[in-house]
């Protein structure tokens, strides 16, 4: 077993939710009278907690307008937008394979809220896949490593026996800051060059390559 604990990011790593996030943020910006937001700018902040994402996306935004944007984003994500959010092809089968390995631990570290992650767990019937999870609103947002430290402590796994898997530099930087191995996936939102700058131990350009390596 290469790692006792594998910690996955969610959006852009396991689930193809990026189109929905972009659509909902654009709709929310329209509601908040912020005008049209650039798609690449929205993609850039995916992975951060929502308050941090809004502050990065809209520098200098007033508190009341930021709250309006947050509320409208939440509305569109839950109720107003029908963009599908499938798992990337092969994810379900590959995670099931990992779960079968004796002693293998799986976890999630995400910029989603606890309410949002639990909703996805319920809708996709996948919460039982993971032994633990952390969200940005119950600890600190990426790239701060607090959620990783909490997962290591909860699951009693030393940092050298764990790996972080994600599609953004925020994922990889929080792992690098505590000396945790990290794997970047290039099919998400950040470019291979941005991921490579975080010195990952592996870069995977599709789900099969990723899980073949994790099974090694």
Angle, helices 207-215/91-99, rounded to nearest 10 degrees = 10
The answer on pLDDT for 132 being more than 90 is: yes
Average pLDDT (95-124) is 95
Average pLDDT over residues 67-96: 94
Claim to verify: residue 68 and residue 98 sit in the same structural domain: no
Q: How many residues does the chain have?
A: 216
Q: How many CB atoms lie within 10 A of CB 191?
A: 11
Among 80, 105, 122, identify where a domain stops.
Answer: 80
- pTM, rounded to two decimals: 0.94
Q: Measure the CA–CA gap between 47 and 45, rounded to whole angstroms.
A: 6
Question: Do 114 and 141 sit in the same domain of this protein?
Answer: yes
- Of the three residues 56, 80, 104, the one that is the final residue of a domain is 80
> Do 62 and 118 belong together in one domain?
no
Question: What domain range is 200 assigned to?
Answer: 5-16+86-215
pLDDT at 80 over 90: no
Question: CATH number, domain at 168?
Answer: 3.40.50.1000
Residue 86, pLDDT above cutoff 90: yes
Same domain, 73 and 171: no
Q: What is the mean pLDDT of the chain?
A: 95
Q: What percent of the chain has pLDDT over 90?
A: 96
CB atoms within 10 A of CB 162: 23
11, 71: one domain = no
- Over residues 179-207, mean pLDDT: 97
Report the pLDDT value the prediction gives residue 2, as an integer from 0 to 100: 86
Looking at the fold, whether 51 and 110 belong to one and the same domain comes out as no
- Judge whether residue 1 has pLDDT over 90: no
Q: In the chain, what percentage of residues exceed pLDDT 70?
A: 100
**What pLDDT digit, counting tens, does each position of 112-123 carry?**
999 999 999 999
pLDDT tier at 216, thresholds 50, 70, 90: confident
In a shared domain, residues 32 and 115: no
Residue 111 and residue 167 in one domain: yes
CB 177 within 8 A of CB 157: no
The number of folded domains in the chain is 2
**How confident is the model at residue 74, as a pLDDT?**
93
Question: pLDDT (tens digit, 9 = 90+) per residue, 32-79?
Answer: 999 889 999 999 999 999 999 999 999 999 999 999 999 999 999 999
- Average pLDDT of the residues in 9-23: 96
28, 183 in Cβ contact below 8 A? no
Asked whether residue 192 falls in the same domain as residue 90, the answer is yes
Q: Final residue of a domain: which of 62, 80, 98?
A: 80
Give the span between the Cα atoms of 210 and 212, in whole angstroms.
Answer: 6
Same domain, 27 and 110: no
pLDDT of residue 81: 87
DSSP class of 111? S
Residue 143: helix, strand or coil by DSSP? coil
- Looking at the fold, whether 48 and 120 belong to one and the same domain comes out as no
How does DSSP assign 7-59, residue by residue?
EE--BTTTB--HHHHHHHHHHHHHHTT--PPPHHHHHHHBTB-HHHHHHHHST
| Alpha-carbon gap, residue 188 to 9, rounded angstroms | 11
């Amino acid at each position: 077993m290469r790692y006792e604990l594998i910690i996955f990011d969610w959006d852009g790593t396991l689930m193809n939710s990026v189109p929905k996030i972009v659509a909902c943020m654009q709709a929310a910006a329209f509601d908040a009278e912020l005008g049209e937001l650039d798609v690449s700018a929205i993609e850039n902040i995916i992975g951060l907690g929502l308050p941090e994402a809004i502050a990065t996306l809209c520098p200098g935004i007033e508190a009341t307008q930021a709250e309006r944007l947050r509320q409208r984003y939440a509305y569109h994500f839950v109720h107003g937008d029908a963009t599908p959010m499938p798992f990337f092809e092969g994810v379900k089968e590959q995670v099931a394979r990992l779960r079968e390995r004796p002693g293998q631990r799986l976890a999630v570290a995400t910029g989603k809220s606890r309410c949002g992650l639990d909703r996805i767990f319920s809708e996709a019937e996948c919460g039982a896949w993971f032994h633990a999870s952390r969200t940005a609103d119950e600890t600190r947002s990426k790239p701060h490593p607090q959620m990783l430290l909490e997962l290591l402590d909860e699951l009693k796994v030393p940092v050298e026996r764990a790996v972080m898997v994600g599609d953004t530099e925020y994922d990889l930087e929080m792992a690098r800051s505590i000396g945790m191995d990290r794997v970047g996936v290039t099919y998400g939102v950040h470019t291979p060059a941005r991921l490579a700058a975080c010195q990952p131990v592996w870069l995977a350009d599709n789900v099969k390559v990723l899980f073949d390596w994790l099974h090694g």
